[in-house]
Chains A and B, each alone.
Chain A
Amino acid sequence: MGFEISAEDKDLTYIILPAYNEATRIRPVIEEIARKGYKMIIVNDGSSDNTLDVIKASQKKYPKNIFIYSHIINRGVGMAMQTGFDAVLRYNPKYVVNMDSDGQHSVDDLENVLEPLVTGRAQAVIGVRPLKDMPLSRNFANAIMNLLTRIFYRVNVSDSQTGFRAITAEALKKIEINARGYLISSEFIREVHDNKIPFEEVPIKTIYTPETQAKGTNVTEAFKILIQMIKHQF
């Protein structure tokens, strides 16, 4: 039997989901989270499809669990997360989780990433994806990004590009995120490390479909992140 979060802690947990053109994938994800009794902040990042309408429809079903903020134009996952982090602090949370809205992450892993925070072992957690499940191109880009994170940010982690992370509100107030795009993953790790926030890696399941593979850190994104990392050195 795995870890079970108390009703009180669950009530103080908020999940941030950045969403860009996820109309066909987001509904099962958010409704499953809502059915589990968690509250979530969804940031629609200027989607050009009807993602916002899909989220609004789910909000009607679960008005107490879903809070929506929407960017009028697309600004990247990093910006959506910045909006999410700023928004979530208005609700006085205790724990903040961040996961992808495309169904790549399993909602069942929520308790796994929350467990180190709730038990007090850590104040920040990253969900580590199993390398064997990762497509080859993604695996290669991820290996490069882990190396770059180690070189530029001096932090050694097994999965620097994961979108599944959790942090206590107390720790969240200490970190400063400036990344606009996918650099956010490495920047989050750097901030946690630099602020000496107790940190843990937790293995998570990843569901890869052709659609989810099209997004995320591929070689092109890795190159963009490298440019930004160099820029951040000055």
Chain B
Amino acid sequence: MLADFFILLKQELVVTAIIFLLLFIKLGKDRSNETLLGIINLLLFLNFASGFCCSQDGMLFNDMFHTNPLIVLEKNILNLAIWLISLQSYSWLKTHKHVIEFYLLLLSTLLGMFFMISSGNLLMFYLGLEMSTIPLAAAANFDLTKRKSSEAAMKLIISSAFSSALLLFGISLLFGTTGTLVLTELPAHLSANPLQIFAFILVLSGFAFKISAVPFHLWTADVYEGAPVAVTAYLSVVSKAAVLFVFVSVLYNAFKPLADVWYNMLFILSLATIIIGNLFAIRQDNFKRFLAFSSIAQVGFILLGISGSSQTGTASVIYFILIYVFSNLAAFGVISLVSAVKGKENISDYKAFYTTNPLLSWVITIALFSLAGVPPTAGFFGKFFLLTAGAAKGNYWWIGIAALNMVVSFYYYLRVVKAIFMDSNEQPIEKISIPNYSKLALIICVAGIIITGLASCVYDYIYSLSSGL
């Protein structure tokens, strides 16, 4: 019984242990930032590696917490992403005064996400969700003296509090109409009566806020622009991925009887998200803002994949998120390096970047090609599987418009590539020496972009673990 407890809660316990260890290090004698970052990166790697050993199915705490190989895989993806982000932010944190606090905030959100992904009860889900958003707002304000940073944090905390209020009102109505909070018992009591549909809409809008689907996307660009680059990377990859994982399992399992209702809602949300994300991405000059709108557009494609509601649907969403982690973090790796060393974040500053930093230029180009979905990179396969999963329902208008929008997205992704390689600039960003940690992160990202696309065993493995509606 006790052994079960330790094995099932393995990943959460490891993260908790790291949090406590960091607290003790903080209380102990002062250490230099280089040593601290070395220790922390090692710990995060161990955390990632420990996710692969001895996992098993099971439930704990009266079905509040459940785990299975798919959930373990999802947590491993999040562990990998936080390790990569930590490696990339080395040059930013090297001179920062509050290194440990930064990691305490990030790891507590990670712990919240783990509980959210594993939740078998709406109460547990809500606790995990709040635990993963409240510290994140504090982390968004991490550049305490910057005006933009505090503005971003204010926008994040107010909009996330509003969205969780919507979600809670939905949950309270669900409790009133069904009498249960257990996710596996919900389907038996759901019958698509108007009050339940209203409750479902509120829950869905709470989710849509967190994954920043249009029309709930308004906070995204501002928060991404104002927050420090590492937090932006974390928001756009880890927190979005975690909510999407839960979203898929909640829609497929708990809201199964409402499948017809949410199919139509996803249709509208997804089209609006893809189109508006693309149109706004075209006119951005700030790199982080640009990636914010690009990530909004990507969420539209993920919603299309979710609508397939089959085993392919789940598998393609998780596969796409894995690729999205690699490609987005490769782009953010370069941006965080440039922003930490030179303080420049605009696309126009990147003109003629290739003449001074050929290696970084290639990395960001590969990342953008993968985000756009150009064949040799993994991004193409990710989007292809999403469209395939969505096409199973036979709604070809949806697929057609999404495919047309992929063409639009080429325009703005390739515009950046053009600025880097072809435009002339009298004062390009000077040569940047890449620290070893960042180099490692960039190599892993580029390798991931290429290998996940070419090695079919990755997709097959995810497919074998996932289940449909």
Do A and B share a complex? no
Which residues of B are interface residues toward A (Cβ below 8 A)? none
